[in-house]
Chain A
């Protein structure tokens, strides 16, 4: 009897404790009547020294073998509508752009060593997460200078960033992701995560942030998804996406002509009116609990709904009462032993909490026509009414986009839409107070991408439109992917809004772009070689003959019959051998 007590005493006294610190939570935030944001956050800190009971050993091994002190991995798909949904969760610190993105800080003595470790890191992660991260080579790697935490530099640490916007994200990426969690996705909040619902969402982002601090490893995993609630509910009834039968369509009664009895039904705008939904409806199952979760953490997981509690009512399974209930959120502590479900009801689902607007709304898209040249056109709109906003943009363009940075121009529009200022990065003005080139590393064909970082400042309520041109390259035959006519994906630009204080910067990413390049005819290799060689031989042969032969008058040549000529030639040949 005394032994367990003694053991507990030892545990309590041991410095830092042998216990790992783990907590998880789920936040559900209706963004509009039909789009709901679900945020899963998992935080795990390992104990000092190597007593990793919960910490995934494989990650620790990956960190150690590549000498990385920090690792960030992102998987994302979909479109975040910043206009209507505001800022991404947690100021965008854990949010992914399109495709797969990886950045890490690597300790090494020299740049080539650091780069070699970086490539081996990307390769190990590609095996771990079933993603083709092995495609991150030097043509996809950059070292950011002013974003992604680059500013707190320690000179023996090299920051590398690689992005693969064309990578699909699917269940094979979710499976190993869940295996990193202590309960492997079988219990707790993570039991709601299922590939079928997650990859059906409007927008999803899976992130892993790993860092080392004071000898402790910190792992933060976040999954965010924006679910279209109506579609999710419809799928539970009928998995085949079909329009509703006429009888089930709800008519908009605010329009006087819309009366089903008259045979006229104006369908009601979705996202308005009544809603009744449970967690099982949204995710396919309630939160499962079991011994696993209670064994590993004393902090019970929390589930919070961010809704105006006046218009919404929430009931938990087993009539559990909320741990927190305030005017803008209702939180429950999930009991450790049984399954947990929530029933959410509202008569006016469109009443949602006001969203934090993003300080700027940024969009970037390709302009131009034809496959010789194009341009990148970006629009930045400030949403703040009173103070100017400064932000840094980070763009990585593949080497086959030959950028003309001298063609960069910007135009500033005030809140009324009138043009206020224009300018460029011309040679004469080194910097202006609106657009400043922080860093530019031109692309080396097939070796490294173009890396552009700019500092832009917009006054309150204004809109800045920037544009620069580029030329599209032709590639070698084997550099085209198998579906060459689809085009090439360009990674999203990262925008970080600067803040005066030490508060974290708001980070967001624009959409990725699809660039179509000129293609040769892929069926032609032999034909081209043959035709070109023929033409060269024609030229060479003609000139060779002209230069090496002597002129004679035709009539001076002895006239010979064909037979005699042939006999003469034959004797010449035989005399060569005798």
Chain B
């Protein structure tokens, strides 16, 4: 009798404690601008790429889309490099970089196919987003945008509805656990206004009718090298390490619209967890866990152990 009571208590505890959490992390980083004067957008994207790589996400789980080749551009006075700061202390391109979609390959169609996994049979694995329902995905987009649209390469546009529908398809196909959507363009907050699928957290750099500004330029490179919103995000993320306990609430509280020169927006109504419980590393870092298939009957104790480990 006591055994029965104990096991019921344990089940109750497990039911409460076993919140869904992720077992793997992916990142999709998109720079949609072409041409040399959009150096800063490539630098934005590569900064985020470096951050997620530093915090543990492997190249095989990062999809980097760069619409133009900046590092080896003939205009680049420093061949093979991309800097995000005029002090040129950190070369973002570095020794080892994997760009999955580059140049003319970065199109609205390819981006939506990537998100919804409706691919050509010949598409190589490194170009596909192979997520499942326990994947946390960090999606970062930067470029030129406007009221509910984002320009791809000066030739086409993706609208807020397109992205919202793509996310809805992902939800139907159970392709994500949670999505953190960050966008740095002009009037960026309008891009997430039409999302309607659950478990999406969105951050934009500026309100409707507000532009997002660049931070500073490098005299020797000749163009602006980083945007303000991304710059202040990076300033915070520099302090995050793989074992850090900093949360998204800390990140969002660090935003100062005076410094950013625009009003970043955060959309949390589709997101269930409290932001002060969400670690930065839940999206920017990498967790590699194995979820044992629970279809076979398992011993109670091993099941309990497994759930405790996941809840940590």
Which residues of A are interface residues toward B (Cβ below 8 A)?
A: 77, 119-120, 123-124, 126-128, 130-132, 134-135, 167-172, 175-176, 194-200, 239-241, 481-483
Does B72 reach chain A (CB closer than 8 Å)?
A: yes
**Most chain A beta carbons < 10 A, residue from B91, B95, B125, B127:** B95
B228 in contact (CB, < 8 A): no
Interface centre among B69, B73, B79, B104 (most CB of A within 10 A): B79
- Show 22 A/B contacts (Cβ-Cβ < 8 Å), sorted by A: A119-B122, A124-B122, A127-B125, A127-B126, A127-B127, A130-B102, A134-B105, A168-B72, A168-B102, A170-B93, A171-B94, A172-B97, A172-B98, A175-B97, A175-B98, A196-B81, A196-B91, A199-B71, A199-B72, A199-B80, A200-B80, A482-B155
A124 touches B220 (CB 8 A): no
Which residue in A124, A172, A197, A240 is a CB contact (below 8 Å) of B99? A172
Q: What is the bound-complex CA distance between A405 and B79, given in angstroms?
A: 41
Besides A123-B120, A172-B98, A172-B102, 19 new A-B residue pairs in contact (Cβ under 8 A), listed by A number: A119-B122, A123-B123, A124-B124, A126-B124, A127-B126, A128-B124, A132-B103, A134-B122, A168-B72, A168-B102, A170-B80, A175-B95, A195-B95, A196-B80, A199-B72, A200-B79, A200-B80, A241-B77, A481-B104
Query: How far is B123's CA from A123's CA once the two chains are assembled, in angstroms?
Result: 6
Q: Does B19 contact A (CB under 8 A)?
A: no
* Closest 8 pairs between A and B when the two form their complex, measured CB to CB: A127-B124, A168-B69, A482-B155, A170-B72, A123-B122, A482-B153, A127-B126, A196-B80
Contact A175 B72 (CB under 8 A): no
- How many contacts between A and B, using CB within 8 angstroms? 96
Q: A176 to chain B: which residues have CB within 8 Å? A: 98
Please indicate the chain B residues that have their CB under 8 angstroms from the CB of A241 in the complex. Answer: 77
Is chain B's binding surface mostly helix, strand, loop or mixed?
A: loop
> B108 CB to closest chain A CB, in angstroms?
12
Can you name the residue of chain B whose Cβ is closest to the Cβ of A242? B220
Contact of A128 among B69, B126, B153, B220 (CB under 8 A): B126
Most buried by A among B80, B101, B104, B155: B80
A483-B35 contact in complex given A120-B122, A196-B79, C-beta closer than 8 Å: yes
Q: How far is the CB of B34 from chain A (nearest CB, A)?
A: 6
Contacts of B123 in A (CB 8 A): 123, 127, 134
- Contact between A130 and B80, CB atoms less than 8 A apart: no
- Given the complex, which residues of B lie within 8 Å of A126, measured CB to CB? 124, 127
Chain A residue numbers with a CB within 8 Å of B153 are 482
Interface residues of B (CB under 8 A from A): 34-35, 69, 71-73, 77-81, 88, 91, 93-105, 120, 122-127, 153-155, 220
Complex formed: what's the CA distance from A278 to B81 in Å?
23
Partner of B93 from A128, A131, A195 at Cβ < 8 Å = A195
Contact, CB under 8 Å: A123 / B124: yes
Q: What residue of chain B has the Cβ atom nearest to residue A125's Cβ?
A: B124
Residue of A nearest to B126 (CB): A127
Please, which residues of chain B bring their CB within 8 A of the CB of A169?
A: 72
Asked if residues B124 and A239 are in contact (CB atoms below 8 Å), the reply is no
Question: B residues within 8 A CB of A120?
Answer: 122
Residue from B72, B94, B155 having most chain A Cβ neighbours under 10 A = B72
Cα A198 to Cα B78 in complex, Å, equals: 12
Nearest chain A CB to B229 CB, angstrom units: 25
What separation, in Å, do the CA atoms of A239 and B79 have in the docked complex? 10
Q: Measured between alpha carbons, how far is A252 from B114 in the docked complex, in Å? A: 61
Tell me which residues across on chain A come within 8 A of B88, comparing CB atoms.
239
B103: chain A residues at CB < 8 Å are: 132, 167-168
Q: State A462–B167 Cα separation when bound (angstroms).
A: 67
A residues in contact with B73, CB < 8 Å: 168
Judging by beta carbons under 8 Å apart, are B34 and A482 in contact?
yes
Residue of A nearest to B59 (CB): A175
List of B residues within 8 angstroms of A196 by Cβ: 79-81, 91
State whether B124 touches A171 (Cβ < 8 A). no
Q: Is the CB of B95 within 8 A of A194?
A: yes
Q: How far is the CB of A514 from chain B (nearest CB, A)?
A: 13
Q: Which residues of A contact B100 (CB under 8 A)?
A: 127, 130
Q: Which residues of A contact B71 (CB under 8 A)?
A: 170-171, 195, 199
Distance in Å from the Cβ of B155 to the closest Cβ of chain A?
Answer: 4
Residues of A within 8 A of B77 (CB): 240-241
Once bound together, how far apart are the Cα atoms of A263 and B81, in whole Å?
39
* A130/B99 in contact, CB under 8 A: yes
Residue of A127, A169, A194 ringed by the most chain B CB atoms within 10 A: A127
Contacts of A167 in B (CB 8 A): 103
**Distance in angstroms between the alpha carbons of A128 and B125 in the assembled complex:** 9
Pick the contact of A239: B78, B98, B154, B155 (CB < 8 A). B78
Is the beta-carbon distance between A135 and B95 smaller than 8 angstroms? no
State how many angstroms separate the Cβ of B144 from the closest Cβ of chain A: 13
Please report the C-alpha to C-alpha distance between residue A167 and residue B105 in the assembled complex, in whole angstroms.
11
A241 to B78, CA, bound (A): 8
Nearest B-chain residue to A241, judged by Cβ? B77
Shortest Cβ distance from B223 into chain A, in angstroms? Answer: 15
Q: Which residue of A lies closest to B107 (CB)?
A: A482
Collect the chain B residues with CB atoms within 8 Å of residue A131's CB: 102
Smallest CB separation, B120 vs chain A (Å):
8
Which of B35, B80, B155 is within 8 Å of A198, CB to CB?
A: B80
Q: Give the docked Cα–Cα distance between A26 and B305 (Å).
A: 56
**Bound complex: CA A132 to CA B101 (Å):** 7
In angstroms, how far is the closest chain B Cβ from the Cβ of A41? 22
The interface residues of chain B lying within 8 Å CB-to-CB of A119 are 122
CA A176 to CA B124, docked complex, whole Å: 15
What is the chain B residue whose CB lies nearest that of A239? B78
Contacts of B122 in A (CB 8 A): 119-120, 123-124, 134
In the bound complex, residues from chain B placing their C-beta under 8 Å from that of A124 are 122, 124
Assuming the contacts A168-B72, A172-B99, A483-B35, asked whether A132 and B80 have C-beta atoms less than 8 A apart, the reply is: no
Would A132 and B102 be within 8 Å (CB), given that A170-B69, A196-B81 are in contact? yes
Write out the residue numbers on chain B whose beta carbons fall within 8 Å of the beta carbon of A135: 104-105
B308: min CB distance to chain A, Å: 39
Chain B positions within 8 Å of A130 at CB level: 98-100, 102
> Which residues of A have CB within 8 Å of B127?
126-127
Q: How far is the CA of A134 from the CA of B127 in the complex (A)?
A: 11
Min CB–CB distance A200 → chain B (angstroms): 4
Instruction: Among A132, A194, A197, A240, point to the contact of B104 (Cβ < 8 A).
Output: A132
Chain B hits for A194, CB < 8 A: 80, 95
B125 CB contacts on chain A under 8 angstroms: 127
**Contact yes or no, A132 B124, CB < 8 A:** no
**Complex interface: chain B residues within 8 A of A481 (CB):** 104, 155
Chain A residue numbers with a CB within 8 Å of B97 are 171-172, 175
For B101, the chain A residues whose CB sits under 8 A away are 132
> Residues of B contacting A134 with CB < 8 Å?
105, 122-123
Please measure, in the bound complex, the distance between the C-alpha atom of A481 and the C-alpha atom of B98, giving whole angstroms.
24
Cross-interface CB contact of B79 among A127, A175, A199, cutoff 8 Å: A199
